[in-house]
Amino acid sequence: MVISKKTDANACITIHKGKHRYSTKPSLAKSNVFVKLTAEKVIILDQDLKEVVTHDRLYGDLKQESINWILYLGQISKRPTALKYTGIYDLFPQAAKDYFDNLDYENLKATLRTLNTLTEETNFEAAVDALLDAISHGASDTDSIQVLFKRKNSKIMELDGHLAAKNAPELPELKPDISFYDTFYTVADGVEAND
């Protein structure tokens, strides 16, 4: 069954008489979305019927909510002081939390923005993995996180620096002979050039 719903200011919709609340993504706040309900899933679609997020369906008469915090990472990066009060903070390992605690406002903002970009490129786990690598190497800038992410997630095969010479064929030394071109070189008065 597919129904139409309007999201609230936090980009969430409710079903089951307002008792079950599901997140969409921040850019869909106060807009119309389609909700596909199955026995196990609640699939939220945008106006173009493209899937935005899928939640496990909630049941029962108690108030419950299902929030996909990863979709809110970009929004949180604009107000990084709210990080600790969101569900996404609990998704980070302790090493990342400790790292965040030692960043000033601007660096926390930049780091969260970088993690959001990397998450959009692949997934949240790969972005966090790059962050943990940067932390373990003592890096404290977003460029290092991006470099480690690209290195781990690049489709380009890394070589160890040089190929094994034992399988390379023996090639003779190349000595070019360009004397053939001397016959084409002439002076303006038609006399052949001499060396």
* Total domains in the fold of the chain: 2
Distance CA(148)–CA(56), nearest Å, equals: 33
> What pTM does this model have?
0.67
What tokens appear for 49 in the block? 């019927």
Asked if 33 and 76 sit in the same domain, the reply is: no
Asked if 75 and 62 sit in the same domain, the reply is: no
The answer to whether residue 193 is domain-embedded is: no
Regions of the chain short of the pLDDT cut 70: 155-168, 184-195
- At 5 the pLDDT is 95
Asked if 82 and 96 sit in the same domain, the reply is: yes
- At 188 the pLDDT is 42
**What letters, b where the CB count within 10 A reaches 16 and e where it falls short, cover 41-70?**
ebbbbbeeeeebbbbebbeeeeeeebbbbb
- At 142 the pLDDT is 87
Where in the sequence is the domain holding 146, given as residue range(s)? 71-153
- At 157 the pLDDT is 52
Distance CA(86)–CA(145), nearest Å, equals: 23
Asked if 42 and 58 sit in the same domain, the reply is: yes
Asked if 97 and 113 sit in the same domain, the reply is: yes
Strand order of the sheet with strand 51-56? Answer: 2-6, 32-37, 41-45, 51-56
Asked if 97 and 149 sit in the same domain, the reply is: yes
